[in-house]
Amino acid sequence: MATRQQSAREFVKTWSSPNKGREDADRQTFWNDLLQRVYGINDYYNYITYEKDVQVKAGGKVTTRRIDGYIPSTKVMIEMKGKKVKDLTKPLKQSGGGWRPHAF
């Protein structure tokens, strides 16, 4: 059986290939693979919610926006970016507020 470190290396190798890493096309597959292969969460379909509607204040009124993923048990919101991402050190104006993305 592979260790978590070995699984993580295989995951990185898979997702580093040129045909992977498209934000819209790969986001759910990426997270399902990460949760299952690296973290050992086999029931990932009960663990993460995709395309979750959220209410935010924008321009003085409340509007509905959508986040790419949400993990309720950890209260983690996910906003995916493709491989051709811009500078991750700069805040993004998105979902009604400024976010500073973190890459892992």
pLDDT tens profile 24-40: 788 899 999 999 999 99
Report pLDDT digits (tens) over 59-72.
888 888 888 999 99
Residues 6+ away with beta carbon under 8 Å from 74? none
Distance CA 66, CA 57 (A): 13
- Boundaries of domain holding 45: 4-99
Query: SS3 for 20-49, per residue?
Result: CCCHHHHHHHHHHHHHHHHCCCCCHHHCCE
Q: Is there a domain that residue 31 lies in?
A: yes
The residue with greater pLDDT, 57 or 72, is 72
What sections of the chain are H helices per DSSP? 4-15, 23-33
Residues 6+ away with beta carbon under 8 Å from 48? 31, 32, 35, 69, 70, 71, 78
pLDDT category at 104 given cuts 50, 70, 90 is very low
Query: Number of structural domains, the chain?
Result: 1
Q: Out of 24-28, 78-82, 87-91, which region has the weakest mean confidence (pLDDT)?
A: 87-91
Q: Is there a domain that residue 30 lies in?
A: yes
pLDDT category at 103 given cuts 50, 70, 90 is very low
- Which tokens in the block code for residue 19? 């045909």
Q: Is there a domain that residue 23 lies in?
A: yes
pTM of the model: 0.73
Q: How many CB atoms lie within 10 A of CB 31?
A: 19
Q: Is there a domain that residue 13 lies in?
A: yes
